[in-house]
Amino acid sequence: MRSVRWAWLVRHKKKLSPLSLLGTQVIGFTAVALIGRFADLVRPYLVSKKTGLPLSSQIAVYVVERLFDAGSMALITSSVILLSPSGSLPHPEELRKAGYWGLALTVLGTLFLVVVRLNGEAVASFFERIFSLLSKRIGLAVADKIRAFHSGLDTIRSLSDFAVAAALSLGMWLVIALAYLETTLAFVASPELAAMTPAKGVLLMIVSGGASIIQLPVLGWFTQIGVVAAAMSKFFGVDAEPAMGCAATLLLVTFLGIVPIGLIWARFEHVSLKKLTEESEHAGEALAHRRV
């Protein structure tokens, strides 16, 4: 689904078959799983090499992709929280407030996206003047990010472009939420996990996603397992042993499961994940220096 979405987002610049970028996604996420967030630029770097499109344009697509991910997660989470029956979730009042805030931020983010798409240069200039009051360098950096974001939004030229990208994003995150639910339900020896509801599964997905933002090589796996297990114990009353086992299995199913396929794929492509990470990082830094 990520391959299809990326191909859709670049279709105005180059026509690609929906699954032609599948390898770039598999190898890219394998690099992130093994090397950490330092490898985030591997996917846009590989897409740039494969398609011949400028790296700057693919980094912009990556930013837009991440915004669709964040918006989809926020929309799904807020909807689940607000539509869940009373008493079905722990700390209902706090979660309901978080749900309303999530919806509000999603709406504001969408409006910001529309404004930047329509007049990105004006928005960049406005924020440059505001942040330059603190530091001229910060002002230039913020304006540069907004201009890069505007460049990425050039991939969305109509309401249908937005609708298809949003539908793919929502569909993908619903599948991910289903993976969390099915994995927890498999732990039938734990009454709390065996009785897991879709709403609770979505909460676990959000906790896991938050723990993975700063993904360190290997060490980050255990941090994420610990955070998710602690959330299960605190919010749902799951005993420590099944909570730890379920958290580890969730990491395998939703994140590390791609690693064997990615390593084999990289072997067939004759690429080194470490070298790709270094090359993409250097290319990103060179691009940033040219902008400055």
DSSP 52: -
- Do residues 240 and 229 lie in contact, with contact meaning Cβ atoms separated by under 8 Å? yes
DSSP 196: -
Handedness of CA 199, 36, 5, 69 (dihedral sign): positive
In angstroms, rounded to a whole number, what is the distance separating the alpha carbons of residues 82 and 35? 37
Model-level pTM? 0.81
- Do residues 63 and 117 lie in contact, with contact meaning Cβ atoms separated by under 8 Å? no
Tell me the pLDDT of the chain (292 aa) as tens digits. 999 999 999 988 889 999 999 999 999 999 998 888 788 899 999 999 999 988 888 888 888 888 888 888 888 888 887 777 766 667 667 667 776 777 777 788 778 877 877 787 888 888 888 888 777 888 887 887 787 777 767 777 788 888 999 999 999 999 999 999 999 999 999 999 998 888 888 888 888 887 777 666 667 788 889 989 998 998 888 999 999 999 999 999 998 999 999 999 999 988 889 898 888 888 877 766 665 5
Three-state SS string over 142-182 comes to: HHHHHHHHHHHHCCCCCHHHHHHHHHHHHHHHHHHHHHHHH
**Closest Cα to residue 47, out of 22, 84, 12?**
22
In angstroms, rounded to a whole number, what is the distance separating the alpha carbons of residues 120 and 153? 9
In angstroms, rounded to a whole number, what is the distance separating the alpha carbons of residues 236 and 198? 13
In angstroms, rounded to a whole number, what is the distance separating the alpha carbons of residues 154 and 208? 32
Task: Give CA 215 to chain center in angstroms.
Answer: 12
- Do residues 224 and 251 lie in contact, with contact meaning Cβ atoms separated by under 8 Å? yes
Collect all residues with Cβ–Cβ distance below 8 Å to 132 and sequence separation of at least 6: 138, 139, 140
- Do residues 265 and 26 lie in contact, with contact meaning Cβ atoms separated by under 8 Å? yes
